[in-house]
Each structure stands twice: as structure tokens, then as C-alpha cells.
């Protein structure tokens, strides 16, 4: 049976809330007594998930030295993960103007998890990324996402440029983040069907991805720093779209 490890309070709590049938067991630091852990233990009890109390050293060893916050869960691998074949049905089910996030080659699982967390908070309908040279939903990404990996469809595609062309055929405008762009993010109209495209850490978008974008936009920078971490930039782009949509 294929399994994966889910580390940390937020990620374990999300697994117990959204997919309790996948959770095989919990391993918990016996010395923790705080309210956050009690909530996790109550969820485990409700779901009938066995709990194994261990000392800190044993927990470190069993988790392979991961930063587990005193709790981790062993979970069955999802019987069905989101795949490229699901993209059409996900898009067809969207009510109102779509808001999509496209991550071009984000390889750091911490950044992916943070982007997913922002995507969930902003109401993004689907996150799209290339299947090659980009991070997947590793235990680290899930932990940083704090449950967003279970709530936001994350679809990796074999040919990102082709997928972007298909999005444009559906009437979705592609707005790419580029520090050298002439247009200011805050001057863009993001109220309609939009896919916000952000590139990898340091390198930005690949040329083919950039070429498919309808517009490029930059975040105005007042200081000496020339660029922002991709997860920070993602949050700024997404919540500008949220602001505009709420303002009408």
C-alpha cells in the first residue's frame, strides 16, 4: 500500500477534516498538551484514527528528522489525484469569472505550499503548473500549505504553453508577472476571467510562457530590492484581483 507522511498541526488537521479515510494513524509527542493538539486528537477520535504517543526523540526518528511540530500522520496515497484530464471539468464547473494561478517552474516545495495557501485564501479555482522541473505536492508542500493542498485543485500539465493557449481559447486572459514590464499591476483590469502567471524563483517565466501571456505586469518597487519571493509576489497579484472584483 502506497503511503505518504503528513507533518505538522495544520496539515494533519486538514487531512483529518477533509480526507479522514486516508489517515492510517497519528504519531504524537506525548509531552504536548496545548489546545491546538487537543483539537487534532479530537478529530482523530471522531474519525476513529489510532493515535500513537511517543517521546520527542522517537518522533524525530520515526519522522526522518522532519519538522513535525509534535505530530505527523501516515496517510494512504490518494486513490485519485487531480490530473491534466480533469482540467476541462474543473473549468466548466466554475461559476462566475475564473481566477486561475499558473506557476511556471516553481521548484521549492516551501514556495509551492505558500502559493497554494494564498490561492486558497483568494478563492482561486485551480492552480496549474508544468509536470517537469517544478515541485509537486510533497509532504513539505502540504505542510506549508496548511490544508490548501486539499482544498484547491492543483493540476500539473505536460505542455504548459499548449495549456495556456487552450485557456485563451476559453476567453481567459493571461497576465504574467515580470519585473521589467511597462504596465503597473494596479493599472491592470483583473475583474474578468483571468489567469495570473508567475515564474520560478530567480529566473521568472520561461520564454514560451512569457510569449503566451496577453499582458505583462510589474509590482511597483520603492526600495533597492529588485524582486520578491514568488510566494510573496503571488499573494500581491492574487489579492489585487480580489480587491478589484469586490470593488465591482
Percent helix / strand / coil, the chain, rounded to 5: 40, 25, 35
For residue 6, how far is the Cα from the chain centroid? 15
Q: Is 228 annotated as a binding residue?
A: yes
* DSSP E strand stretches across the chain: 3-7, 23-29, 51-54, 71-76, 99-104, 126-130, 154-157, 173-177, 183-184, 194-199, 215-218
Strand pairing class (99-104; 71-76): unpaired
Q: Determine the Cα–Cα distance for residues 203 and 1; give it in Å rounded to an integer.
A: 39
Q: Determine the Cα–Cα distance for residues 147 and 8; give it in Å rounded to an integer.
A: 11
Q: Is 219 annotated as a binding residue?
A: yes
Q: Is 199 annotated as a binding residue?
A: yes
Annotated binding residues, written as ranges, equal 199, 219, 228
Annotated binding residues for S-adenosyl-L-methionine, written as ranges, equal 199, 219, 228
Amino acid at each position: 500500500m502506497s503511503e505518504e507522511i503528513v507533518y505538522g498541526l495544520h496539515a494533519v488537521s486538514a487531512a483529518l477534516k477533509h480526507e479522514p479515510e486516508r489517515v492510517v494513524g497519528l504519531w504524537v509527542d506525548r509531552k504536548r498538551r496545548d489546545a491546538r493538539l487537543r483539537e487534532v486528537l479530537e478529530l482523530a477520535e471522531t474519525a476513529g484514527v489510532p493515535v500513537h504517543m511517543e517521546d520527542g526523540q522517537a518522533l524525530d526518528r520515526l519522522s526522518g528528522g522532519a519538522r513535525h511540530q509534535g505530530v505527523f500522520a501516515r496517510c494512504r496515497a490518494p486513490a485519485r489525484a487531480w490530473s491534466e484530464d480533469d482540467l476541462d471539468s474543473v473549468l466548466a464547473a466554475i461559476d462566475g469569472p475564473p481566477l486561475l494561478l499558473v506557476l511556471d517552474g516553481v521548484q521549492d516545495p516551501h514556495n509551492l505550499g505558500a502559493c497554494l495557501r494564498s490561492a486558497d485564501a483568494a478563492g482561486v479555482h485551480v492552480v496549474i503548473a508544468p509536470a517537469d522541473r517544478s515541485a509537486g505536492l510533497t509532504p513539505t508542500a502540504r505542510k506549508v500549505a496548511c490544508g490548501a493542498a486539499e482544498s484547491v485543485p492543483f493540476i500539473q500539465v505536460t505542455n504548459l504553453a499548449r495549456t495556456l493557449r487552450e485557456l485563451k481559447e476559453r476567453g481567459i486572459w493571461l497576465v504574467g508577472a515580470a519585473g521589467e514590464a511597462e504596465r503597473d499591476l494596479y493599472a491592470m483590469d483583473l475583474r474578468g476571467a483571468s489567469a495570473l502567471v508567475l515564474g520560478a524563483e530567480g529566473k521568472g517565466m520561461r520564454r514560451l510562457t512569457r510569449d503566451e501571456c496577453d499582458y505583462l505586469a510589474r509590482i511597483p518597487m520603492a526600495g533597492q530590492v529588485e524582486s520578491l519571493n514568488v510566494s510573496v509576489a503571488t499573494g500581491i497579484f492574487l489579492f489585487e484581483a480580489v480587491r478589484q472584483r469586490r470593488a465591482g
